[in-house]
A = this chain, B = another copy of it.
Amino acid sequence: MEVYKGEKKRLYLQNHSIAHLFSFPVEAFIEVHEYQRDEWMIQEGMRPDFLFYVMEGKAKIYVTHQNGKVSLINFINANDYIGEMELLNDVYYTKGIQASTKTICFAIPFHRYRPQLLNDAKFLRELTKFLSVKATQMAAKYSQSLAFPLENRLADFILQTADKGFYKEKHVTVCDYLGVSYRHLLHVLTQFCEKNYLQKEGRNYQIKQYHSLCELAGVLKNT
């Protein structure tokens, strides 16, 4: 993790202002943090001292269960907040956050700004929207995971993450995200290949029948 200092910080702040997110000046004590791919931005169970706003990069939210299973709860992208749960709630089990690409974010220290943040309607309005989307997404994922087999959820995931017709996600990540075993994921992928929905190309899978996958994914959506 690198904390930008001096000229580097000044330049970054100048080129990527977040003044529009707040109705009070937040520049004074703000920090700019850069994390490497695979670096842990927040350790599970350790309360952070900052509210983060992601400027560039991607990250993942993980939680570990007592039985050793790991769930990838969600992905984090540019313009998302991190640490908002801890800002709002005194008691909260902090999830682990891992950068999946180089990630640069603004870090707003709680001890300096908590009162202002919690009284700033502009900030709160945006945070409320962010949280409402988050809650809705989780509710959707939850109910879908119980109502549909992997076949449907995987089809949806493939369509969402495919890059120019190629699906290239790491199996292990997908297992944690969709909450199934490695073995079963491979099994369903093999089925997709047998049915010719996908075709294996080295380590990737090329989509051969969009409409079949769309059909499988389509049943997840409510009308």
Copy total for this chain: 2
Report the Cα distance A89→B134, complex, angstroms. 12
Set B88, B129, B139: member contacting A132, Cβ < 8 A? B88
**Which residues of A75-120 have CB atoms within 8 Å of chain B's CB atoms?**
84-85, 88-89, 92-93, 95, 118-120
**Which residues of A20-68 have CB atoms within 8 Å of chain B's CB atoms?**
45, 63-67
Bitwise, A124-141 to B at CB < 8 A (1) or not (0) is 110111011111101101
Residue count of chain A within 8 Å CB distance of chain B: 51
A219 close to chain B: CB less than 8 A: yes
CB distance from A206 to the nearest CB of B (A): 28
With a cutoff of 8 Å between Cβ atoms, the chain B residues found around residue A218 in the complex are 66
B132 contacts A84, C-beta separation under 8 Å: yes
A170 close to chain B: CB less than 8 A: no
10 pairs of A and B residues whose beta carbons are closest in the complex: A146-B179, A71-B143, A138-B138, A124-B124, A135-B135, A131-B131, A142-B142, A69-B147, A121-B121, A66-B219
